[in-house]
Amino acid sequence: AQKVTQAQTEISVVEKEDVTLDCVYETRDTTYYLFWYKQPPSGELVFLIRRNSFDEQNEISGRYSWNFQKSTSSFNFTITASQVVDSAVYFCALGSSNTGKLIFGQGTTLQVKP
Amino acid sequence: NAGVTQTPKFRILKIGQSMTLQCAQDMNHNYMYWYRQDPGMGLKLIYYSVGAGITDKGEVPNGYNVSRSTTEDFPLRLELAAPSQTSVYFCASSYSRGAGGGTDTQYFGPGTRLTVL
């Protein structure tokens, strides 16, 4: 079975703190894809990153970084020097090339206080 | 380039009424999807389409119907609305080269907030 677990339901930090959002996945596929999406208070879903299962290199994009570890089936997302505008619900998702489906975690609500 | 558009943004239905949620994309994507998002939950796939004239069920298809007569449009029909269908509905699209919608980035519309009373 395919599953995505985001164990942190809500996280609250003060601006400029670093914060890591955890994502653990389960799959039997050898080829799969991992995604992160951001859902700000306005409600739309914004694509952040896509990573395939063969690429374990960490990625950094400005204040955002992602740590993919196949050994622990995790794809964690870190925001450095958080800002109030980072306040949102963040979803991790697992994509299967076998089923053609995208499975979402339940999301982590991040609140960044000034 | 408008991306994925959805109408309406909000709607209140009475139990037993029917309605169609509209979705259109102008990115020439072959795959399109409908998801629902219940409070505090992730998204669940209702239906998807791999191209005009082809649709298939997702995880939670009961109570819904879809059709795809063009590449651009993918309407979702609710028949006999029930309170359990109160949710936010998202349409998405992606360009997939045949490996399926789970491998390519899906781009989402702004959502339709539906309440059934």
How many CB atoms sit inside 10 A of residue B55's CB?
Answer: 18
- The arithmetic mean of pLDDT across residues A12-24, rounded, is 97
pLDDT tens digits, residue range A84-105?
Answer: 999 999 999 999 877 778 899 9
Q: Do B65 and B84 contact (CB within 8 A), yes or no? A: no
Q: Using the predicted structure, report yes or no on whether residue A81 has a pLDDT greater than 60.
A: yes
Nearest CA in chain A to B37: A106
Please give the pLDDT value at position A14: 97
Predicted local confidence at residue B81, as pLDDT:
95
Q: What is the pLDDT of residues A49-74, one digit of tens each?
A: 999 898 888 888 899 999 999 999 99
Residue from A6, A29, A45, A103 to probe the interface with B (highest B Cβ count within 10 Å)? A45
Tokens (6 digits) for A62: 């400005």
Distance CA B65, CA A17 (A): 46
Q: Where are the alpha helices (DSSP H) in B1-86?
A: none
Listed as ranges, residues in chain B with pLDDT below 50 are: none
Determine the distance in angstroms separating the CA of B59 from the nearest CA of chain A, rounded to an integer. Answer: 10
Q: Give the residue among B71, B56, B87 at the shortest CA–CA distance from B24.
A: B71
Three-state SS at A46: strand
Cβ atoms A92, A105 nearer than 8 A: yes
Which residues in chain B have their CB less than 8 angstroms from residue A93's CB? Answer: 42
Q: Which residues have CB under 8 Å from A28's CB, separation 6+?
A: none
Q: Are B107 and B26 in contact (CB under 8 A)?
A: no
Residue written as tokens 């050898």?
A30
